[in-house]
Amino acid sequence: MSIVEIYTKTFCSYCWRAKQLLESKGVEYKEIPVDYGGNERDAMIQRANGRTTVPQIFIREHHVGGCDDLLALERDGRLDDLISK
């Protein structure tokens, strides 16, 4: 199981940016595309407390939020701790 799961859409620049940050840190993640809706999108909305935008990012089952939230964790120096626990 990946410690990071990220719900994405193919042409989402925020998704690309979040994935780029994770990749720059050498973090492997499970990408869950929700381009076509369906069960994956429904699961994302439920897990993300009703949020419908992408990306939605989870680290160790903890809902981080979207790209801006991930970048804020990095800026505050807290992302590495979440990933390395």
How many folded domains does the chain comprise?
Answer: 1
Integer Cα distance of 43 and 16 in angstroms: 21
> Which pLDDT tens digit goes with each residue over 33-67?
999 999 999 999 999 999 999 999 999 999 999 99
Give φ, ψ of 65 to 5 degrees. 120, -140
pLDDT tens readout for residues 7-29: 999 999 999 999 999 999 999 99
Contacts of 65 (CB under 8 A, 6+ apart): 48, 51, 56, 57
* This prediction's pTM: 0.94
Domain at 58, CATH number: 3.40.30.10
Q: Which domain holds residue 13?
A: 4-84
